[in-house]
Structure 1
Amino acid sequence: MVKKMNVESFNLDHTKVSAPYVRLVGITTGEKGDQIYKYDLRFCQPNKEHLEMPSLHSLEHMMAEFIRNHLNNVIDLGPMGCQTGFYLAKLNHSEIDDIIVALEKTLQDVLEATEVPACNEIQCGWAASHSLEGAQAVARKMLEKKDEWKEVFQQQ
């Protein structure tokens, strides 16, 4: 038996999920009643594929910037260390369908972009590591499988 961990994703059986998907990871309630919803935006099948760093980095910049045009109260959108997707943290409740619609619109924005936002040495800590074309290829691939985003676990 695997020991229960403090980090939710460490308790997720990564061999049972079927990427791509959008999954509510958890809800944290603050002392004043506000709630933070954390979502797993999984682009790649764990332990089978991953996002190359320049593509992931550019996609992070674009999604972090663009998703705020489609969702209110976004706290953060950041990459997973395993390079298979992103975490989205949002204040107060949103239906999973709202997250999916916002993600689709955000990825469409990525496809229409002509440059990576904040891709310079003043605004980015590793400005040399970006790929607009790579990010757009990842966005295109994710959008092609949009109908699968609600299916988190492999069909038995």
Structure 2
Amino acid sequence: MADVESFTLDHTAVIAPYVRLIGVEHGPKGDAISNFDVRFVQPNEGEIPTAGLHTIEHTLASVLRDHIDGVIDISPFGCRTGFHLIMWGEPAVADVVAAVRAGLEFIAGPAEWSDVPGVSAVECGNYRDHSLHSAKEWAKRILAQGISLDAFSRVGV
């Protein structure tokens, strides 16, 4: 079996919330794709409830694209402590943090149910499992802690 980077990470050594560059892959024509660990909750100490995480996912999928170019996908970790963010190119961690912070500020603040994309049965595979209230509370909590530029120390918070 191939090694998966996230399974080699010492989850007891990281200090969430943070954004961490997991790695950069280059395609056959030289295109770069960056994979980021966007960790909102300290591993093994808590998790975002599914409905709130689902709403954060849908909202960030749209709002991030307003704040940074190159977003391919943002997908939640099964452990519900954060997300993989896949992007074209090699954006700086500080730029990713700024975009994520802006997205969370929108969720925590002015976001209304009508701002959450893809929440109908046609658009979502589990459309009943959303909570804007939970998403707002978690966004506020994450913002209050600050998002570090380093997974192992509180840098740039």
- Per the normalisation by structure 1, the TM-score is 0.92
* Distance (Å, rounded) in 1 between the aligned partners of 2:106 and 2:4: 32
Match of 2:86 among 83, 89, 92: 89
* Distance (Å, rounded) in 1 between the aligned partners of 2:150 and 2:72: 25
1:5·1:11 contact (CA, 8 Å) conserved in 2?
no
What is the aligned-residue identity percentage?
A: 39
How far off is 1:154 after superposition? 5.5
SS of structure 2 residue aligned to 1:15? coil
Task: Note closer, same or farther for the CA distance 1:73–1:151 as it changes in structure 2 (3 Å cut).
Answer: closer
User: Alignment RMSD, CA only?
Assistant: 1.5
Give the counterpart letter for 1:41 in structure 2. V
Alignment of 1:31-50 (within 5 A): 31-50=28-47
Give the counterpart letter for 1:132 in structure 2. L
Q: Deviations over 1:50-84 (max 9, x none)?
A: 11000001110001111011111111001001111
Name the structure 2 match of 1:150: 149
* Distance (Å, rounded) in 1 between the aligned partners of 2:153 and 2:31: 33
1:27·1:38 contact (CA, 8 Å) conserved in 2?
yes
- Per the normalisation by structure 2, the TM-score is 0.91
* Distance (Å, rounded) in 2 between the aligned partners of 1:154 and 1:91: 27
Query: Structure 1 segments of 4 or more deviating over 2 A?
Result: none
Give the counterpart letter for 1:123 in structure 2. E
How far off is 1:110 after superposition? 1.2
* Distance (Å, rounded) in 1 between the aligned partners of 2:42 and 2:92: 24
Q: Deviations over 1:13-69 (max 9, x none)?
A: 111111111100000011111101111010111111011000001110001111011
**Matched length:** 151
Match of 2:111 among 110, 113, 129: 113
Give the counterpart letter for 1:126 in structure 2. N
- Structure 2: tracts of 5 or more residues without a match: none
1:16·1:154 contact (CA, 8 Å) conserved in 2?
no
- Structure 1: tracts of 5 or more residues without a match: none
